[in-house]
Structures are given as C-alpha cells and as structure tokens.
Amino acid sequence: MLQRAMRACGQRFGLPSVLLGYCLLLLCFAAPGVAQSAGVGKAAAQASASSTQVELEGELEVLHEDDFKNRKSRIRHFLKTGAGERYELKFSQRAPHYPSGSKVRVRGSKSGNLLALDSGSGSTQVLALAASNTLGEQKTAVLLVNFQAYPVQPFTSAAVNDMVFNATSRFYKENSDNQTWLSGQVFGWYTMPIAFTCDTSRIAAAARQQAADAGVDLTPFARVVYLFPQNGACSWSGVGSVGGASTEAWINGELNVKVIGHELGHNLGLYHAHALECGSSTLAATCSAIEYGDGSDIMGNLAAVHFSAFQKQRLGWLNDGAAAQLQTVTSSGSYTLDPYEVTDGIRPRSLRVLKSIDATTGKKSWYYIEYRQPLGFDSALPSLYNSNLVKGVQLRIATDDEPNSSHLLDMTPNSSTADDMNDAALVPGASYSDSNAGVSITLNWADSGSAGVTINFAQQGCVRKAPAVSVASSQSGSVAAGSSVSYTVAVSNQDSSACPASTVALASVLPTGWSGSFASQNLTLTAGSAGSTTLQVSSPVSASAGSYGIAISASTAAGSSSATASYSIASSQQATLSSAVATDKSSYAKGAVVTATTTVLAGGKPLANASVQLLISKPNGSTVSQALLTGSNGQAVYKLRLGKKDPAGLYQVKASASSAGQTVQAGTSFSVQ
C-alpha cells in the first residue's frame, strides 16, 4: 500500500522522488482539510446538532477559484471579524454579488469555522460597500514564494516582471483604451515555513510575513499577487478576490497573460464569461450554461483575448472617454460597427438592444453585439476557433446589476457535437429574431474595416401598462417629531411608443394623524418618458420615536404601482444621521461634467469618513455607481462626464450614507438635453 501511495503521489504532484516523503505527509495530514472542504454540505446539515446562533460583523472576502484544466470553478465567501476570526459563509439561497472588502453584518448558525446563514434577506446586511478601483494606475506587488517541501524557483524575477508589468499591463492598456494599466515590483523568492498547502489565507499570511521580514513595505500596493511553483494538490490554477479597492490573487505555477490577466479581472470585479447551449435553438426556455464557455473573452480563459463589451462597460471603460464606444439601439435602422479592437474610430464598437425587463426586479437584460477582428490581443481568435468568429458579429446576453450574467449565444446551433460554440458568430446574410423582444438582427456585410447591421423592432399598436414609481427622501435619516420631510417621487410611463400621453395620478398613504401634500398630484407623460414631483410629509409633534412607512401609488387607466419610503423619528437623546444630495445644475448638455455632492450630518454637524454609495440611473436603464467617503466638511463629491452617446432625459441620483450602524438615503435628479 505504501508503494501504491508513493506512485500515486508522484503522478498527482509531479514531484521528484526525493520529495515523495513530503508528499505522503501532505496526503496524510492535508487530506482531512480537503475532506472537510468537500463535506461542507454535510457539516451544514449537521449544524443544528452542534451550532450556535450568532450575529457577527466583519469584512467580506469573496474568492473565485479557477480549475481551468477541468473547466470548473467555485465562488467562496468568508467573513473576517475584528477579532481575527475567519468563517466560511454558506448562503441558503443565491449569494449576493457584494465586492470583496465590503463591511457586512450576518446572522446564522456557527459550527466550527462554518457559518450557515439564515434564510431571508435579513441574514446579510451591508454596512459599507467596498470602493471600486478599475481606472488608472493599478499598483501591484508580486510575491514569489515557494514551499519548504518544494523550494524550487521555476521563474526568474526578471521573467515575472516582464510578464506582469509589460505583457499583462499592455493587455489591460489595449482593452481599456489606455485607461487602466499595471505598475509595481516583484519581490522574492521567499520560502514559506509550510510544507505544502492550498489554503489561500495561509499562503497570503506566510508570504506577507516573509516579505515583511525582508524589509518589504506592501502598503503602497493596492493589489498583491502570490506566485508559487505548481502545487498539484490544489484543485485550482488560480484564485482571485472579486472586486474592491484592495485585492489578492494566487497563481499556481502559471506564468502567462491568460491566467494572470484572468485573475486580475476577478480583482477588478469581473465574473466568468459563459456560453448558452440550447440544443437546436439559439435561445430557448431551457438551456445549459457552459462555464468558461465564451472563449472570445479572457474571462472564458481560452486565451488572452479582449473582454466583452458587457465586461468593459462594468469596468467603466466604455462609459466615458472616447465617443461612440457602446451605442444603445432603441429604433429600427442600419448601424455600422467599427472592429471591436479599434480605438480611434468614429463609429460604435458595440451595440446593445433591450431583450427584456424583469417584472419583479425591474432589471433589464440586453443583447450585446460586437464585430471582432484579429487585431492586437484578438489576433489569437482565428487560431482558437474556425474563422467564423472574425467573419461575423458575436451576440451575448447580459443583465444590468448581475455581474455573472454574460453568456455568448450560438448563431449556428447544433452545428457540432464536440464544441458547438466554435462557430457562434452571425455571418453576413444571416438573421436572428427574438419574437418575445420584438426584435430582429441581420448582418448585411462584414469586411476588415467595418460591419453593417440592420436592427428591426416589430411594429406594435398601443399597449398600455401600469406606470413605474420610485421614491427617495431628499433629507433622510432620523428627525425630530413634528418635522417636515420632503420626498422625491419619480414616475415613468411604461406604455408602448404607439400610445398617446397618459396622466398619472399620485396618492399617498400616511400614518393616522400625519399630513402630506404633493407639489403636483397629476403628471402627464408621453409614452416611455419620466417625470418627478415632491411629497412633503409632516408628523405630529406627539409622535413616538421609531420608523414609519410612507406609501405612494401611481395610477392610470391601465393599472397602478406603488413604492414605499420610511420616516424615522429619533429619540431626544440620539445624535441623528441625515444626508442630502444635490447637483451643481439642474440641466446639462452632452459632454458636460455633472458634479454631485452628498452631505452627511450627525446631530446636525458635518460627519467625516461616512461611507457613501452613489447610484446614477440613466433614462435608458444603465447605471453608474461609485463608493465614496465624506471629508472633514461632511461632503463627498463625485464628477460624471456625460458622453456624446449618453441618452437625453431625466437622470435619477440616489445616495446611501452609512456610519456607526446607521444608514440613510437621499435622492435628487437632473436632466440632459
């Protein structure tokens, strides 16, 4: 049995015979850890017998593990408390997409180092979202480390420096139109006091300690990459923390842009690029998602090729800067696309067309259209697939505020039983239609310089729908009883374009004895347009401390919808938190800069270092978000440059401010001509 174990060890880890003894130790002593990981479900199922109900606060750590060889991955969530504890979180339903580094409060059953969260939305509360950092210089430290049982140095420091700060940085500069690049330094080699391990937290702690002992100061670096000789015991090739301003990545014996660029993509907040397999159809009610299925995106990890338009849009690379990068199509017509890789063209490099709107969440799903050519890093495309992908346009679907929703569609379904996505592009003369969305997409022609696409929307008669309504307080937070609080009520007409204007009637439901009045109780809106008014609410001076609900309804002949807001009355002893948000103008021209200022007060005085999450919603449904901190004056300022392709209409601004367990919201709006 010992001989069989040694042979298996040599085959599994690929180690020299002199190290087989260490390998046996690894198998004997590391296996229980592996078994524990594999048995998480069983441990969670037994939690009722040995668990303790807890509510904890700490920092969320989100890790994306990539097993490229077997085309598998998993996303793991951990809570790191201020007491130095680290718990793996198990969600009872789909985990939220909060960035790594966010401050959260969780509630659930703790058993050992596992924390099974309670069911329901209240089991996870965000205290402060981690800030994003996707633009500009990305200061990165690379720590070269190895293990006591395998102290080899497979790469030179110079080779690693060239791969990370030359090749991978060029990849990011090309993808971002020179908006994002890497800078930094390579440190090591250091031998960690660990025989072998696949525990990312142990590797990080040991590597950082070795670097500190060598006099290395890592504080200037927002991103840290740990690169070590290949450890065959690990089921992953790389691991990356997902999102946040400070990130980590672990590279298991790989030195190429494909893996390093992929893990840094996770660090920037990206998830995987999938594909949809729907049998004989391009899209159907039942399809299978293929992990790493989109090989035309580095987040599909087939090669170091360009990120797709949805990914670039999420990173802010298509939202500002050069004009005509991503165009939202809302009317039938013919459109010309520049090659996706061209940075100096005057035509759009990607189109997106509305696919659907979720009736429950209101989130919009889109078709993204790209014309890829073998230019720059995309030169690898023809060698990966047949030339179909560079002779037509690629279509993907993705959903707003769902970072893991990108899926490549197959325009020639069932053409192969081995790899049906090899010829996924829509070629000249071919069309794709979605009867549910009422849209058809035809590729008229494609050459080395451009591609011509015709998009037709089905002609519909007037279809009336209930209006949509939302509400935000312009001065939220706890107030004294008897105070008057103003709420901004935003309404949009959901009727189809063939409908004439509708008048929306507004009404409010308030607690008994309260008073409220609208500045305009009726809004007349054309189909697809939006408008807003204010609701002023006052409580009685005798009202008790607590939180009260305010309900607003918006009605037309087609139906009604409602929204709720809160009115919080503070006790006389409480230093209340309040906020307000305002823009420097009420109306802007395209190309102008919008300055949004959020002011946060505690007990009526400016509050420094309050966390502010700002969300700007455009008329076409797209959003821009930014995490900020207030300065000594209690203000957080964000500047948004409007692009030439940004839609005209009403923009909604919402600010969520948090400090010391209190969270308040404020809102305003502005228009773009």
Taking the chain (673 residues) in runs of 10, the rounded mean pLDDT of each run is: 41 42 41 34 45 89 95 95 92 90 92 88 83 94 97 97 98 96 97 95 97 96 97 95 96 97 98 93 90 94 93 86 74 94 88 87 91 95 81 96 95 76 91 92 95 90 88 74 89 86 94 93 91 92 84 92 87 69 94 94 82 91 88 92 91 88 88 93
User: 390 and 516 in one domain?
Assistant: no
Domain termination residue (choose one: 423, 457, 491): 457
Q: Is residue 313 part of a domain?
A: yes
Residues shown for the chain: 673
What are the b/e assignments for 477-509, b being 16+ CB within 10 Å? bbbebebebebbbbbbbbbeeebeebebebebe
CATH assignment of the domain containing 658: 2.60.40.1930
User: 520 and 413 in one domain?
Assistant: no
User: 333 and 348 in one domain?
Assistant: yes
Domain termination residue (choose one: 556, 574, 592): 574
Edge-first strand order for the sheet with 530-538 is 468-473, 484-492, 530-538, 515-518
User: 72 and 27 in one domain?
Assistant: no
User: 173 and 122 in one domain?
Assistant: no
For residues 248 and 242, give the distance between their C-alpha atoms in angstroms, rounded to a whole number: 9
User: 108 and 1 in one domain?
Assistant: no
User: 642 and 498 in one domain?
Assistant: no
User: 444 and 345 in one domain?
Assistant: yes
User: 142 and 81 in one domain?
Assistant: no
Q: Is residue 43 part of a domain?
A: no
User: 288 and 413 in one domain?
Assistant: yes
Q: Is residue 44 part of a domain?
A: no
Q: Is residue 46 part of a domain?
A: no
Structural domain span for residue 251: 136-267
CATH assignment of the domain containing 71: 2.40.50
What pLDDT does 321 receive? 40
User: 59 and 28 in one domain?
Assistant: no
Number of domains, the chain: 6
Domain termination residue (choose one: 404, 424, 457): 457
What pLDDT does 414 receive? 77
For residues 394 and 413, give the distance between their C-alpha atoms in angstroms, rounded to a whole number: 13
CA angle 439, 443, 446 (to 5 degrees): 155
User: 141 and 118 in one domain?
Assistant: no
Identify residue 70 by its one-letter amino acid code: N
Q: Is residue 617 part of a domain?
A: yes
3-state secondary structure 398-439: EECCCCCCCEECCCCCCCCCCCHHHHCCECCCCEEEECCCCE
Identify residue 282 by its one-letter amino acid code: T
Q: Is residue 185 part of a domain?
A: yes
